[in-house]
Amino acid sequence: MKRCVCLIALLTACGSDGIVSSDIHVRDADTIVLNGRKGTPVRFEGVDAPELETQEGREGKQWMIDYLQGKSVRCDLTGEMNGDRHIGTCYVDGGNLSAAVIAAGHALDCARYSGGRYRHLETPASKSRLRRAKYCG
């Protein structure tokens, strides 16, 4: 069952469709914060993106910043947490943000959490230059 965390903030709505925000802070290629830096952090379910200490991680973060500029994001939360981050699937312009970052070559599928649903979107270049986390198998 999907759970929604309701926040009272400008440009934020909550209902059966999840959290919607146009004030987005990008932490990295698989984590965004809705409603600005101090809002709701969301980790994309089933996505394995490089850490920011790597060139690939910094490139992925920049891609995400550029991709989300001027857009609203809707996130459906699973009710699970990873540290301070809610786990969820986010959508932009009707498209799945996890699928977009993987198809763009900035992340890999994490089958442990996705069931492999994004594996077909991995690019040959990303599979050769990105290291999959051990826990993603």
| pTM, entire model | 0.86
Q: Output the pLDDT for position 15.
A: 43
8 A C-beta contact, residue 75 and residue 52: no
Indicate if the pLDDT at residue 39 is higher than 70. Answer: yes
8 A C-beta contact, residue 73 and residue 25: no
Q: Output the pLDDT for position 13.
A: 39
* Percent of the chain whose pLDDT exceeds 70: 88
Q: Output the pLDDT for position 134.
A: 93
CB atoms closer than 10 angstroms to residue 66: 9
Q: What is the CATH number of domain 13-136?
A: 2.40.50.90
